Structure 1
C-alpha cells in the first residue's frame, strides 16, 4: 500500500503496510500462507478482518487469531516464524481479509528480546465518536483517544485505530498527538478529508503538524458512503537512519550483514 514511501522517514515509525482484500477460498487440506522466515529490528502487526491466521515462532509462541483480533510480534534481536490460514479455516473455506503492518523500532530497542502480544477483539476498547445511537466508533488498538487506551504495548508513541462510520455524509473529529505522522487507509467505503476524496483502498499520508502550544491537532473526516471503514496509523517519528533488506530492518548496512550472518549460522530466533 505504501510502496513509494515504504522504509522511509516520511511514514516513520511505520515501515510498510500490506493489505489482502477480501478473497474467497474453497475448502482445502492445504494451509496457505508463508513458511518459516526470519525478522530482526522491527515489529509486525497482523489484523484479521475475515478468516483466521495461525502463527508459530522460534521462541515457542503458537496462536490463532480470528475476526477482530490483532497479533503484535516484536522481532527485536531476531525471531523465526510462520503464518498460515488456520487449520479450521482451511478445512471449511470462506472469505479471507487481513492486513499486516511493519513498525520500526528505535536503535536502542532493535536487539530487544522477541515478544508476542495476542490482542483479542474483546480486549480492544471502543470509543464512540458521536452521541448518536449506532453512530461512528473507533477500536483503539494502540495509543489513546477520548480517555480510552489501547492494549498494545509499544516502544515509541504509536496510534492504531480501526474506525467505522455506519452512515454516509457523517463527519467525525479525531484528536491527533502534536507532531505525529499520520496515515489514513480506507478499507471500505469512502471519505472526504479537506478537499480530497478517498475511495476503497486509497491511502493518504498527513505531514506532522507541530503547534507551539503542544496541544493535539484535530482531523475531520466525512464519510461519502454507508458502512465506511478506515484504518488510522500514526506515531511519533523515530528520525533515525533506516537500513532495510528483505526481512531485516536496522540502522546500518553493517548491521544488516550481521543479521544475515546470524540467521545463516543459526544464531537467530532464540
Structure 2
C-alpha cells in the first residue's frame, strides 16, 4: 500500500552569485542543509545572458574535500579542469559528477567558444555529501553526455530524465557512493504524475521553470518543496507547464562540519583539510 508524503516546507531560493560569471539563485547551502540530507547545496545559475568575451568567466581554481559536486547544464556550455588531470566540456543536457573526496582543485568557467559568441546559460550545481568512510576516497570524475541519460514517458505524458539512481523503472548512469536519485521532469500544461521513491529516502522537488503543484500545494520557479519521510509517493501537476528537479537520497546520519569548500565530520578534519591544501597535497591545476 503506497502512502502519500507530507510536505514539510516550501522555501524560496535567494539571489546569489559565484565567481565573476555565474548569477542566479541559492535554494539551500551547507550550513543549513540538514533538512535536505544527503544534499548540501543547490545553486540554480540562470537563465542568464552571457555577453561575448575573449576571456571565459566563471570560478577560478579552488579546492574541495569531503563531498561531490554535480553540474547539470540545461542551456549554454561550461568547461572544467582539475588537479587530477581531468578536462571536460559540458553542453546542453550534459552532466558532470565530480567526487572531490580526499581533495581536488578545480575551476569551472564558460566554455571558450561559448564565451566568445555569448548566449543563454542555465545550469544547476548540487553538492552531495559523502559518508565518513568515503570522504578520503580517491577523487574521480564522471562526465555524462546527454545521450547517455535515459529518458522515459510517464503514464500521463510527463517526460522524465534520470541522472542517478532509479525512478519509474529507469536507471541513471552515474555511480554513487550512497543511494541517491537525481532526475528532472517536464510536465506540459494540464499534466499530472505520481512519483514513487524509496520510503526511507529524503525527498525534495525544485522548480526549474514554470509553475507546479506538489500534493496540491502550489510551487513556482525558484522554490523547493521538502517532504517528510512518512510515505513513498508525491503527486506533481501543472496547469501551465513546468520543469522540476527531483532529488532523493538515503540520509547520512553523521556529524557535519562545514567550512568554505570543505565538508567533513569534525572540526579537526576541517583544519587538516586546510593544512593539506596549503601544503599542496590536493595537487596542482592541470
Report Cα offsets for 1:39-58 as digits up to 9, x if no partner: 00000000111111100000
Give the secondary structure class of the aligned counterpart of 1:269: coil
Cα distance in 2 between the residues matched to 1:98 and 1:254 = 34
Displacement of 1:174 in angstroms is 0.7
Q: 1:178 aligns with which of 199, 205, 215?
A: 199
Asked if 1:145 corresponds to 2:167, the answer is yes
Cα distance in 2 between the residues matched to 1:7 and 1:252 = 17
Q: TM-score, normalised by structure 2?
A: 0.87
Q: 1:52 — aligned with what?
A: 77
Displacement of 1:7 in angstroms is 4.7
Cα distance in 2 between the residues matched to 1:145 and 1:251 = 30
Displacement of 1:207 in angstroms is 1.6
Cα distance in 2 between the residues matched to 1:87 and 1:164 = 30
Asked if 1:164 corresponds to 2:193, the answer is no
Q: 2:117 aligns with which of 83, 88, 92?
A: 92
Q: 1:42 aligns with which of 64, 67, 74?
A: 67
Displacement of 1:192 in angstroms is 1.2
Report Cα offsets for 1:105-141 as digits up to 9, x if no partner: 000000000000001100000121126xxx2111000
Asked if 1:220 corresponds to 2:235, the answer is yes
Report Cα offsets for 1:155-195 as digits up to 9, x if no partner: 000000111012x2211011111111111100111111124
Q: 1:136 — aligned with what?
A: 158
Cα distance in 2 between the residues matched to 1:108 and 1:4 = 23
Higher strand share: 2
Q: 1:69 — aligned with what?
A: 94
Equivalent residues of 1:9, 1:239 under 8 A apart: no
Q: Which runs of 4+ in 1 moved over 2 A?
A: 1-9
Please say which of residues 200-209 and 257-266 is displaced more in the overlay. Answer: 200-209
Q: TM-score, normalised by structure 1?
A: 0.92
Please say which of residues 18-27 and 238-247 is displaced more in the overlay. Answer: 18-27
Asked if 1:112 corresponds to 2:134, the answer is no
Give the secondary structure class of the aligned counterpart of 1:263: helix
Cα distance in 1 between the residues matched to 2:142 and 2:56 = 23
How many residue pairs align between the two structures? 259
The CA RMSD over aligned residues, in Å, is 1.4
Report Cα offsets for 1:143-163 as digits up to 9, x if no partner: 112322100100000000111
Asked if 1:205 corresponds to 2:211, the answer is no
Matches within 5 A, 1:234-245: 234-245=248-259
Asked if 1:101 corresponds to 2:122, the answer is no
Cα distance in 1 between the residues matched to 2:250 and 2:27 = 18
Give the secondary structure class of the aligned counterpart of 1:259: helix
Residues 240 and 79 (structure 1), Cα distance of their counterparts in 2 relative to 1, 3 Å cut: same
For structure 1, which runs of at least 5 residues remain unmatched after alignment? 211-216
Displacement of 1:8 in angstroms is 3.4
Give the secondary structure class of the aligned counterpart of 1:113: coil
Asked if 1:79 corresponds to 2:104, the answer is yes
Asked if 1:196 corresponds to 2:221, the answer is no
For structure 2, which runs of at least 5 residues remain unmatched after alignment? 1-25
